[in-house]
């Protein structure tokens, strides 16, 4: 079977490996034939050669792990030791070993859910990040009538903007130094701020402070404090994504004086959230076609990741298809 491996920063190598078999599955595992994958912002540090915390990430120049670093996948079930999944099912969710860039993937069945067969696999893969955003919004106060700001209008940030608007947010502010005006309105953004988050915060008046701020940039420390500085007294800040650093210094003085709430967390109840994402996409049929802006074949993985690494105004979600 084909598989990709990072052999140096920014450099994939395509390899041939033996195919996994049903006999090798553990309890609860599912063997998938690759249909599509999505590139997530959390995949990019690995592409750049940063050393992560996954077991086996011991390569000299890059991770040198087969299938790494993709975790957003759709696939066809080939074999299953999970009661919810049967051979022939089409499923979406997590490649639990962050090894989704290969022809056959073994994944935890609790991180997979079936999807509407009318959806093309390259669009269905977007249900995975949508599930994560929906779960995060469940952890927030009721957004009805509130002002919500989302720092970062990349592939996760625009989903937060969209979901916040559909949840009844009175006003959605999207902050990003890249010009996102071409699609901001389509994702529910009322006020698009083209600026870095520190510059945005420095010009905020008291009347413009959001009730809720989502930090959807990731991979840096400073933006979390910008979110804390921006939110209105009594407000909530949600930090989304996987932290690159173990420790993030924040202003406890602002947290205390302004009676703020800081939340974060990973997505739990994954099968439930994937089902909810499918329902949400069905209720909002324009979302996924607008969201997946670029599609590459499996022979174009290098080009797909290179595009994902460049700030590009017209790019939202990149999918890779079989």
| 53 pLDDT higher than 90 | no
- Cα separation, 290 vs 91, in Å, equals 21
HSE (side-chain half, CA atoms, 13 Å) at 164 = 33
- Please, what are the domains in the chain? 2-128+270-321 (3.90.180.10), 140-263 (3.40.50.720)
pLDDT value, residue 246: 87
Q: Average pLDDT, whole number, for the chain?
A: 96
Taking the alpha carbons at both ends of the chain, their separation in whole angstroms is: 12
pLDDT value, residue 110: 98
| 54 pLDDT higher than 90 | no
Q: Determine how many CB atoms are found less than 10 A away from the CB of residue 85.
A: 23
- Cα separation, 127 vs 112, in Å, equals 11
| 15 pLDDT higher than 90 | yes
- More confident: 197 or 311: 197
pLDDT digits (tens, 9 = 90+) for 260-271: 999 999 999 999
Mean pLDDT to the nearest integer, 184-201: 96
| 143 pLDDT higher than 90 | yes
């Amino acid at each position: 079977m084909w598989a990709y491996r990072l052999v140096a920063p920014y450099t994939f190598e395509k390899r041939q490996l033996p195919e996994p078999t049903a006999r090798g599955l553990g309890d609860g595992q599912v063997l998938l034939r690759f249909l599509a994958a999505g590139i997530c912002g959390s995949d990019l540090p690995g592409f750049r050669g940063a050393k992560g915390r996954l077991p086996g990430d011991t390569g000299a120049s890059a991770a040198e792990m087969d299938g790494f670093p993709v975790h957003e996948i759709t696939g066809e079930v080939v074999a299953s030791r999970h009661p919810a999944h049967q051979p022939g099912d089409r499923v979406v969710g997590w490649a639990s070993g962050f090894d989704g860039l290969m022809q056959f993937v073994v994944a935890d069945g609790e991180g997979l859910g079936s999807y509407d067969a009318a959806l093309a696999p390259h669009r269905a893969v977007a249900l995975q990040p949508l599930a994560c955003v929906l779960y995060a919004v469940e952890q927030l106060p009721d957004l009805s009538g509130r002002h919500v700001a989302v720092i970062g209008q990349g592939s996760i940030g625009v989903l937060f903007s969209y979901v916040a608007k559909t949840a009844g947010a009175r006003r959605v502010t999207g902050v990003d130094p890249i010009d996102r005006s071409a699609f901001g309105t389509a994702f529910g953004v009322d006020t698009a701020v083209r600026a870095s988050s520190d510059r945005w915060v420095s010009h905020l008046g008291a009347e413009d402070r959001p009730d809720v701020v989502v930090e959807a940039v990731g991979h840096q420390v400073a933006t979390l404090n910008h979110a804390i500085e921006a939110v209105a007294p009594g407000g909530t800040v949600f930090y989304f994504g996987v932290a690159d650093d173990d420790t993030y210094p924040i202003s406890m003085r602002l947290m205390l004086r302004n009676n703020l709430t800081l939340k974060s967390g990973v997505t739990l109840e994954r099968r439930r959230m994937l089902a909810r994402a499918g329902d949400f996409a069905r209720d909002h049929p324009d979302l996924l076609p607008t969201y997946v802006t670029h599609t590459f074949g499996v022979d174009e993985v290098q080009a797909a990741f290179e595009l994902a690494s460049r700030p590009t105004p017209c790019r939202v979600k990149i999918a890779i298809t079989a």
